[in-house]
Structure 1
Amino acid sequence: MAAIAPLPPHHRELVTEQWCLSVDLGQAQDPTAIAVLQHRVVKHVRFDGKVFAAGEVVDVRHLQRLPLGFSYPAQVAELQKLLARHPLNSGCTLVADETGVGRPVCDLLNDSGLKPVRVSITTGESFSPNRGGWHVAKSLLISTLDAALHSGSLRVAAELTEAGPLAEELKDLRRKVSAAGRYQFEARVGAHDDIVLALAIGLWTCVGLPKRKPGMSGRAVGKLPPGQEPSPLSGRWTSLRNGPSP
């Protein structure tokens, strides 16, 4: 994934974008982390109509941690409220980590009509389809994140509330080689990696997920009961929320 090249003379810019809300689910031991990403793919169209790939960029528009002990139904309600806000309510891919405690929350999300793309984090170095979702190696998620950060194609605003904790989590990641000769990534003892994983899952969904086949879930538009719709967001996404709704 390459950062966007400057627009040459006598060209116009053609931009396609998608939004993704990704969530690394937890409850008692690890907090649930949420990331909102805007993925833009840019092409340059020359005066004669010839089209050139110009690169792509993923901007992290929102990072959030839910408190420890936040109930599963409350987590689902929080995601519904986020997805009901502009611009996510016009269409957003919801992706959730169903590894471990994530499976019952994914079931609740399905029951609420959100139909997330389910990702199970595995060992190894690849990904494969799994019951309408995906098995994805943690090493692939982290290496995709690392490459995007180094190329400048993944951008995180420093003023985001959880930008500091994200930087600390990245520092705390430890890479080791397994007995089988494969790279493994783990947070140091006592540290968390929930924000890193939420971001990595969302990034992989934007740039690494194969094109979905007809009928595959993953497109989510949040809806709330009449009279409870939040007003559209305006201004910077950093003002979205610093914590869960009361």
Structure 2
Amino acid sequence: MACFTVGLDLGSAADYSALVVVERVFVLPPLISLSQWHRQPAVYQGALVEERHVRLLRRWELGTPYPDLVADVARTMRSDLLRRDGLLYVDGTGVGRAVMDMFYAESRVERLGAYEPVGVTVTGGQEAQGWNIPKKDLFAAIQAPLQLGTLKIAEGLPLGELLEKELTNFRLKIGPSGRESVDYARNAGDGHGDLVSALALAMYGNNPFGRPDIIENPKTLVGGAHHD
């Protein structure tokens, strides 16, 4: 099996919409092969490292009608990669209930991934209430894996360089009062951090319907296959 979370940041007419697919995996220790794992799983269980791998990035042209975007996302969620093991999280904060209703209607026609889409409202508060999530919590879901090196972007992935640029432009800040806030350095002609926002949704969201794959360490396994 596999375990995918999908984040969709819905932009307004003046901002891009973006989608990020993240796979959750467990990586074996260096020099340990899958065959060794299958023979002695209990020996290596505690040494597995959880990683998140960015598998797909998508950004739509400005002004793309929402019905077209919903149809595109539906095709992606029904692809071989995601139809069984993908869960979609949608930031519907600025677009109102209407666009989320399009997704719910589409999921009733044919399921979008493992379950129906989850609508998220991003807030400026301090505590999550249901799927009303503080922005600081979403971006904190990126920060720790990024610092630990367990968030990885596949080499040569289209829009990968743009995502990396956006990641360098966001900061989780603590003000004088101790309150946390998110600061995004935006230059003329840039987006609004849409790829990072979509990534944050995918990183924050859990997928109870998938089971992460266990893979060999692609950098240090001697003679091993490259799985990333």
Partner of 2:61: 67
Unpaired runs of 5+ in structure 1? 1-15, 213-246
How far apart, in 2, do the equivalents of 1:150 and 1:173 lie?
Answer: 13
AA partner of residue 168 (structure 2): K
The corresponding residue for 1:20 is 5
| Matched-pair contact (CA < 8 Å) for 1:27–1:70 | no
Q: Indicate whether 1:52 and 2:45 are aligned.
A: yes
Which residue in the other structure is 1:127 paired with?
128
Tell me the SS of whatever aligns to 2:50: strand
1:178 CA displacement: 4.8
1:93 equivalent to 2:93? Answer no
Deviations 1:214-236 (A, max 9, x none): xxxxxxxxxxxxxxxxxxxxxxx
1:196 matched residue in structure 2: 196
Q: Secondary structure at the match of 1:202?
A: helix
Question: What are the Cα deviations for residues 190-230 of structure 1, in whole angstroms up to 9, with x where unaligned?
Answer: 44211001001101113xx8x69xxxxxxxxxxxxxxxxxx
Contact 1:99 / 1:119 at 8 angstroms: preserved in 2?
yes
Backbone CA RMSD of aligned residues:
2.6
* C-alpha spacing 1:81/1:47, structure 2 compared with 1 (3 Å): closer
Counterpart for residue 186 of structure 1: 183
Give the deviation of 1:180 after TM superposition: 4.6
Alignment of 1:199-214 (within 5 A): 199-206=199-206
Q: 1:149 to 1:176 in 2, by over 3 A?
A: closer
CA-CA distance at 1:31 after TM superposition: 0.5
Task: Give the TM-score of the pair, scaled to structure 1.
Answer: 0.68
SS class of match (1:57): strand
Q: Which runs of structure 2 are paired with 1:102-113 in the superposition (5 Å)? A: 103-113=97-107
Q: Tell me how far apart the structure 2 counterparts of residues 27 and 180 of structure 1 sit (CA, whole Å).
A: 32
Q: In the aligned structure 2, how far is the partner of 1:119 from the partner of 1:148?
A: 22
Provide the rounded CA distance (Å) in 1 between the counterparts of 2:41 and 2:205: 34
Report the Cα offset of residue 37 of structure 1: 1.2
Relative to total residues, which structure has the larger strand share, 1 or 2? 1
- Which residue does the alignment assign to 2:145? 148
Higher helix share: 2
Higher relative contact order (Cα pairs below 8 Å, separated by 6+ residues): 2
| Contact persistence 2:91–2:122 (CA under 8 A) | yes
Counterparts of 2:170 and 2:159, CA distance in 1? 17
Q: Which residue of structure 2 lines up, in the alignment, with residue 118 of structure 1?
A: 119
Contact 1:26 1:102 in 2 (8 A): no
Cross-structure match for 2:155: 158
The one-letter code matched in structure 1 to 2:106 is S
In 2, the alpha carbon distance for the partners of 1:174 and 1:154 equals 16
- Given the two structures, how large is their TM-score scaled by the length of structure 2? 0.73
